[in-house]
Amino acid sequence: MISIEATQTFFSGLGIAFCILSFIAVFIPSKTKFGIISLCLGNVPLWSAIVMPKSLAPVMDLFHVNQSSNLFVPGCIAGAVCLVLWYFVTSKIIVYIRQKFKSDSKDKTEESDSSESSGKDEESSEKTVSDSKSESANPHLFDNLKVNDKE
């Protein structure tokens, strides 16, 4: 059975490495959201090292971890590897979601364009007139609002 101290040092190292690398990602403008979410996720191993090391010891024993009492460095390496894996998983999911929503929006615009083009010629002339009107602001937009009306 692995010692509780080894479990605590391993999960502390994992959580610290995950949090430090996530904190660095917060300051990269394109990775700010990823860094904030990862920073919150990095607190889970830190919390588990404090609250439940006794229940995590059998899990580490399944992986045949050496029972030395100092597993901080392997924990830090595991934290860095976990963050890299987390980055690649989230980036693939985000790319898939963006492609899915782009294709859905393209389908909707194509459907609306095809339904409008199947109408009469008068509708197409009205469409061009309405397109030119949509470029300027509607002057009657706020006519129905009563602001400070003292009548």
Contact yes or no for 88/43 (Cβ under 8 A)? no
* pLDDT tens, position by position, 70-92: 889 999 999 999 999 999 999 99
- Tell me, what amino acid is at 55? S
Prediction pTM value: 0.63
CA dist list (Å): 20 to 8, 127, 138: 18, 56, 52
Domain ranges in the chain are 4-110
- Find the distance separating the first CA and the last CA of the chain, reported in whole Å: 85
CA dist list (Å): 104 to 111, 117, 118: 11, 20, 21
Contact yes or no for 43/11 (Cβ under 8 A)? no
- pLDDT 10s digit of each residue in the chain, 151 long? 668 888 899 999 999 999 999 999 999 999 999 999 999 999 999 999 999 988 888 888 887 877 776 889 999 999 999 999 999 999 999 888 888 888 766 666 666 666 555 554 445 555 555 555 556 777 777 677 666 656 5
Q: Which two tokens stand for residue 22?
A: 């996530």
The secondary structure of the chain in percent helix, strand, coil, rounded to multiples of 5, reads 75, 0, 25
